Amino acid sequence: MLIDGDQLIEKQLTIKTTTEVVFPDGRKTVLTPVSYTPVPDGSFLSLNGAWQVKRWPFGQSEKTLVSPELDDRRWETVEQPGKVFYADPEAHRQVIPNWNRVTQTHIPDRDGAIIRRRVYCPKEWTGKRIYLRFDAIYPAGEVYVNGEKVGGHWSGLTPVEFDVTDKVVPGTEVLIAVRLWRKHRFHKMDMVRHAVEFCGLAQPAYLFATEPVQLSGYHLASRLGENLNSGEVTGTVTVCSYAGPGQGRVELTLLDPLGKQVGKISCPFKISARTSLTLPLSLPVGKPLLWNDEQPHLYTAGLKLLVKNQPEQRFTYRTGFRRLELSPAGPRLNGHFIKFRGVNHLTYHPEGGMYTPREWLRRNLSLMKKANVNAIRTHFLGPACLAELCDELGIYLLQELPIDWGTDYIHDPEWVGPALMRIQGGILRDRHHVSVMVWSVGNENLPLNASVAEDGWNHLRIFNRFCKRLDPERPTMFPPPGPANKIKAIFEVRVGDIADTHYNFSLVKEMHRTGRIANPRSWEGDMEEVTREEALAKGWSGVWFSSEYGIFNMMPDLLNAPYLSVIDENPPDPLSGKNSLQVFIERLEREWGFMREDPTCLGGAYFPWMCSGSGRNPWGWVRWAEDADWGVMTAELLPKPYFWALRVAFSPVKFPGRVFWEKGQDFIEFPLTNHYNSYNLNQCLLRTQQSAGSRWMGISRDFRDFRIEAEPGETVTARIPLWEPAALKSLEENGVACCRCSLLDPTGFRPITADILILCREKARTVEAEMPIGPDAQM
């Protein structure tokens, strides 16, 4: 019997306390309420810093260990957020009984720790509502305030908050304690296989306060009209009174990127005692500056809650205006061509583990931008500051909602409640961020066998509907498994707006060729056919994305190891001794090249940018999360050689390696495609340097600048004069020449420098025109 998803969604959205739901066939799930109360500006007390820790086995009762009377000064001190536990990099010197990175069966059931921190609750918070929020407790924890349990959180990646108004006294010391659990029944959902046994606060924790009449929530979408010349900030705010009746007003103000006010509205209200009230707000915006990866214009939205006889409360967030459109003709952003040149982001820091400090993360993302990366698919639900930084830097974010590897549970109703809690927590936290483009719902969730397949697919459809209830503005996608066992490939068009595929493009090509594919319903390989028209009728937009491709073990020292390329449709000969970098370049050009040229492809996310692993010295022995150092970047933010290959492949303009020159010409010409979203190529500077070959062909000093007219997505014929006399003379004598092209965008950033080798057409007839380029070339 299939569970009724619509009833379950309504209950999840309305419950106030943890609720067990029993289905007609006797199966059960537990629903957990999720709240994300807006934090008033300036009303914030950080709990980051030194915490005292006692590790299991405790030797005393847990009730004693969370008591305020206990003296913990002799306990170990740890910095939080950060790791309390992490995998021992030397552990595999001896066999670990029952070791399993996914099930964690080698960790005792009650293993964990108690961490404690004392803080002073400001006296100024007297009469206010006081909340305790943890942005992430990984993988789970139970929370105590002054010795009294206020709740637990069995999700390692989503935030949790507790109303502790009745548990603290402003003007006095408060003891915050967390009973950390290293494992729990639902930890698989949070991708523990990549967390390297991390346990601790993975993100910041803090106390904050509101007035008795508060904003308990808001959902304001920044919409851009079809004409791209008008926008609006529209939606609702919810006012809640924990006191007597009151009256007041809510104001919404919008400032442009330079701080100039562009709009303001006010909505008066009257509210009864201990009730809540939802108010509509809509603020029109004329000719807004648009947000994209090239020009990430950000506006500042300010909410003000003014209530008679209580201080005003202000709330500030950044927003932007952009319009993503998906159709069978292909994706468009702000009316223009768009291609996501993405990478997978695994939350990992060499010292903090799952905690990635904001400034370190900023440097990491800045290096992505230098590699021409303009998109991230998170492979954990990323930290809260990730979306903030993507807003600011101009990076498209495909945010994963944590339901990982559900083969043995995706069909089980018991796991539906925990999944809904994770979906709601992630979306409520991040739905106001302009950089969040897509909700990527879970990862590689295919039912185990045919007998449970229908339950599994029903649950995935429920998750999709729930995303749409929480955020109708954004599309969804459901990343499928890659090739394994009986499964050659999956092109997931059955659920979500955007189709997805991992590590194999054969079904994408078959859909293009025949308009029909067969996908497995379960790991048993029971196939079901679907036509393009059927998929479109059921909700597919006609656009696709590859959220994982190109996986490659990038140990930088291994220079001639072609076997490092794995899950490869065209695996190289492992004994060939080919140069590892060249194998990577060839695979990247094959896979990314296909996505780059397909107009219906939104793009892809290379797997991954950086790999997680534990090691006391990153230059010493490191235990990698999946036994391989997959990423193009080291944890110390040092680019590996593969970084530069990725940067070249992701350039928004690709130049040919060779062109042919005809006798009598004083120019070269070749096709050029503009893969920018908003820049016409005539806004960029094409700086050329030319030289004659061959001995000194790569050395040149003089340059000439040109501009080429090409709209975003347009392919044109570029013509470059042969202005260097020596280059032209060499060609006239049947020699070779070189034209070095450096592209400078309107900000002065150089996304690519490429050498075009120029061959005389007459001479080329005696030489293979497409000679291989790279360290494995046979000349």
Check residue 765 and give its pLDDT. 58
Counting Cβ atoms within 10 Å, is residue 229 exposed (0-12), middle (13-18) or buried (19+)?
exposed
Check residue 272 and give its pLDDT. 96
DSSP state of 191: T
Distance of CA 472 to the CA centre of its chain: 19
Say how far apart CA 402 and CA 188 lie, in whole Å.
9
Average pLDDT over residues 169-173: 98
Tell me if the bond preceding 541 is cis, omega within 30° of 0: no
Give 438-494 as a 3 state SS string: EEEEEECCCCCCHHHHHHHHHHHHHHHHHHHHHCCCCCEECCCCCCECCECCCCECC
Average pLDDT over residues 465-482: 97
258-262: list long-range contacts, CB under 8 Å, 24+ apart: 259/300, 262/286, 262/288, 262/299
Comparing 765 with 304, which gets the higher pLDDT? 304
* SS3 (DSSP) at 104: coil
Phi, psi of 126 (to 5 degrees): -60, 130
**Total length of the chain:** 779
**Residue written as tokens 């927003």?**
319
Tokens of 459: 């649950």
Check residue 94 and give its pLDDT. 76
Share of the chain above pLDDT 70, in %: 98
Say how far apart CA 72 and CA 62 lie, in whole Å.
13
Tokens of 408: 């043995």
Average pLDDT, the chain: 95
pLDDT band at 769 (very low <50, low <70, confident <90, very high): very low
The DSSP result for 9-40, as a single string, is: HHHHHH-SS-EEEE-TTS-EEEE-----PPPP
Q: Is the predicted pLDDT of residue 762 greater than 90, yes or no?
A: no
Q: Is the predicted pLDDT of residue 767 greater than 60, yes or no?
A: no
Contact 476, 552 (CB under 8 A): no
Q: Is the predicted pLDDT of residue 779 greater than 50, yes or no?
A: no
pLDDT digits (tens, 9 = 90+) for 640-698: 999 999 999 999 999 999 999 999 999 999 999 999 999 999 999 999 999 997 677 88
Check residue 95 and give its pLDDT. 82
Check residue 616 and give its pLDDT. 80
Q: Is the predicted pLDDT of residue 302 greater than 60, yes or no?
A: yes
Average pLDDT over residues 157-170: 98
Check residue 458 and give its pLDDT. 98
pLDDT digits (tens, 9 = 90+) for 84-104: 999 988 877 778 899 999 999
Q: Is the predicted pLDDT of residue 304 greater than 60, yes or no?
A: yes
Lowest mean pLDDT among 269-283, 606-620, 654-668, 741-755: 606-620
How far apart, in Å, are the Cα atoms of 685 and each of 371, 691, 712? Answer: 19, 20, 15
Q: Is the predicted pLDDT of residue 635 greater than 90, yes or no?
A: no
pLDDT band at 446 (very low <50, low <70, confident <90, very high): very high
pLDDT digits (tens, 9 = 90+) for 106-121: 999 999 999 999 999 9
pLDDT digits (tens, 9 = 90+) for 485-521: 999 999 999 999 999 999 999 999 999 999 999 999 9
The angle that helices 450-470 and 5-14 make with each other, rounded to 10 degrees, is 40
pLDDT digits (tens, 9 = 90+) for 552-579: 999 999 999 999 999 999 999 999 999 9
Check residue 96 and give its pLDDT. 86
pLDDT band at 51 (very low <50, low <70, confident <90, very high): very high
Q: Is the predicted pLDDT of residue 403 greater than 70, yes or no?
A: yes
pLDDT digits (tens, 9 = 90+) for 708-728: 999 999 999 999 999 999 999
Average pLDDT over residues 748-763: 93
